[in-house]
Amino acid sequence: MFAIVLSTLLAQAAPAYLASCPAQAGRVTFQAPFIAPDSGVHPTNRRARFFLDVGSDGNVRRAVLVETSGDATFDGEAAEAAKNFRFAPPTQGCISTSSVVPEDFDVSLITLVRPPVGPTGVPQIPANAPASAVAVCSSTPLAQLKGIDAADTRQAPGTVDIDVGLSAAAKVTSAKIAKPSGNPRTDATALALAHDAEFELMLEPGCSARPTVYRLELTFH
């Protein structure tokens, strides 16, 4: 059993000539089946939590463990399932963007841990997860795109990958094209949008903000 929590981008009004491409929040379109391992697994937390880095095509590019279940096998199975999820990416002004989605996988402690039975015959489940349930800080923090201005005119279709340098305060310090679309005008528009975009660092519990580079993916329709 798992719960899905989707992060959304703030919708902004689009010009009349972009009315055919209304702003849409990201949403899940396919939930990969997840069957928890039934032997040799001993979670100590109620859930495994991930940040999913979703590309502008809706495919998961990276799954970062944010909170461990306390068992590496369960975490690994949950991560593999998460990587097979599919999303409708956020879209604004005929541009689909990459995004970061929080994802929780709930653990059935009764089934997996087989806790001791109390005097009434009911299994005793820990009330709170231990402090050790927090995952180790990842080497490359993810960044969530919080705001981007729609292009003034519709560009030639194509996808542009941009490496955006961010400070510890999530301010854009640099932007360079990592993978061009093949159309110079589309590439230039994407680069300008990246320079002016707003981001927020997505940090694991207990981890400090630090400069990072986020691969922003923009698909023009």
CB 129 within 8 A of CB 71: no
pLDDT at 210: 92
- Phi and psi at 83, nearest 5°, equal -65, -20
| Residue 172: how many other CB atoms lie within 10 Å | 18
For 11-69, write each residue's pLDDT tens digit.
Answer: 334 444 445 677 788 888 888 777 777 777 788 888 899 999 999 999 999 999 998 99
Phi then psi for 100, rounded to 5 degrees? -115, 130
pLDDT tens string 160-179: 999 999 999 999 999 999 99
pTM > 0.85: no
Structural domain including 57 reads 2-220
For residue 94, the SS3 value is coil
pLDDT tens, position by position, 62-106:
999 998 998 888 899 899 999 999 999 999 889 999 999 998 888
- pLDDT tens-digit profile of 167-217? 999 999 999 999 999 999 999 999 999 999 999 999 888 888 999 999 999
- Give the total number of structural domains in the chain: 1
